[in-house]
Amino acid sequence: MAEFTMELNDEQKEVRDWLHGFAADVIRPAASEWDEREETPWPVIQEAAKVGIYSLDFYAQQYFDPTGLGIPMAMEELFWGDAGIALSIVGTGLAAVGVLANGTEEQIGTWIPQMYGDANDVKVAAFCSSEPDAGSDVASMRTRAVYDEAKDEWVLNGTKTWATNGGIANVHVVVAVVDSGLGSKGHASFIVPPNTPGLSQGQKFKKHGIRASHTAEVVLENVRIPGSCLLGGKEKLDERLARARERAKAGGERVKNAAMATFEASRPAVGAMAVGTARAAYEVALDYAKTREQFGRPIIDNQGVAFQLADMRTSIDAARLLVWRASWMAINGRPFTAAEGSMSKLFASETAKKVTAQAIQILGGNGYTREYPVERMHRDAAIYTIFEGTSEVQRLVIARTLSGMPIR
């Protein structure tokens, strides 16, 4: 087990500086254009693929960093560049992790390369879980997967929403209900191969922020996929469902808490994204305050501005420390006895919203225009308190964990 540290080692610093350079030289100059276009920034993704950032190998190396700091460090630097473009670069990772966590070796070797493509022909993948009536309430999922034993095929029907890369992906990973009596334990994940009949893009959302990231509905109408596209295989699914039925009889709450623990482990990465956006806005505000003069002196000479910047930096550092602690705990198998994963995501996302708003205030009228990037950063920051569990859900998780009570 790696000791918890607040100091990156030499290799991590090298990776951080490399990512920072890519974010500064490639992502930032393109940020405003792709925000305005509200389109997937394919040229930027291709550049990321050429240098090795857009690849499973890169994310696997960061994910298996024994200190746990690889992923949060990478996310902070990329999202410091721009949240919308960064989400386009890392969004495929959601689907890839779904296959890595649940798939067989053959499925991993077959499908993950098709998710990324190569530097000359980049592809993206989509992870499809949320539904119009089932976001945080995953037990209300309606998309169904029915097994056609005669043809060894699964038939999927339903509508997914808020899917990053939904409809434009080469490979879709779809979560569907196979046993409605087991709640979230009755779900399974499926690969929908490229050009499968019956899968189509529904509404593409025009969003307040992260507009360079494609977000859409995915409609599944009698989508037939081979039995081999069930992640983990039929035998493993049948065994898991049998265990879940037994556990449900013994006490359903234990099953529910196990599922919640899975969500807990992924939340620090979102917190790191929020830290990156907050840090970017703070740096713009600090530079502006040191050079903008009013009444014959820089505005940072005024306590009203200087104290805001002091609070902004303090909150950012505190958020990063919560993220790093939770990330270290997750990689080392430490239980989140105080919902530390939710704590990190809650505090970092709220910090990003507050810091980006303060940055606009410090820039005044200039901050409200698109001539400066802080208004875009503020729009982008709004998503962090919503996706991967809203701030209200995080508080509920924390309160339930601390009290042991079924708080509603």
E strands present in 87-214: 117-118, 121-122, 125-128, 144-148, 153-164, 171-177, 187-192, 199-204
What is the CA 210 to chain-centroid distance, rounded? 12
Q: Which of 47, 77, 375, 388 is catalytic?
A: 388
> What span, in angstroms and rounded, lies between the C-alpha atoms of 320 and 325?
9
How many CB atoms are closer than 10 A to CB 312? 24
Q: What are phi and psi of 216, to 5 degrees?
A: -155, 170
In one-letter notation, the amino acid at residue 39 is E
Q: Cα torsion for 123, 86, 218, 352, to the nearest 10°?
A: 170
Per DSSP bridges, beta strands 153-164 and 121-122 are: unpaired
> What span, in angstroms and rounded, lies between the C-alpha atoms of 241 and 29?
50
Among 325, 330, 289, 329, which Cα is nearest to 310's?
A: 289
**Catalytic residue at 7?**
no
> What span, in angstroms and rounded, lies between the C-alpha atoms of 55 and 53?
6
Per DSSP bridges, beta strands 125-128 and 171-177 are: parallel
> What span, in angstroms and rounded, lies between the C-alpha atoms of 273 and 72?
8
Residue pair 244/255 in contact by the 8 Å Cβ criterion? yes
Residue pair 220/146 in contact by the 8 Å Cβ criterion? no
Helix (H) and strand (E) counts for the chain? 13, 11
Sorted by sequence, the CB contacts under 8 Å of residue 330 that are 6+ apart come out as 68, 265, 268, 336, 341
Residue pair 99/107 in contact by the 8 Å Cβ criterion? yes
DSSP 19: H
Residue pair 190/145 in contact by the 8 Å Cβ criterion? yes
Reading phi first (left if > 0) and then psi (alpha if -120 to 50, else beta), residue 118 is in beta
What positions carry a catalytic annotation? 388
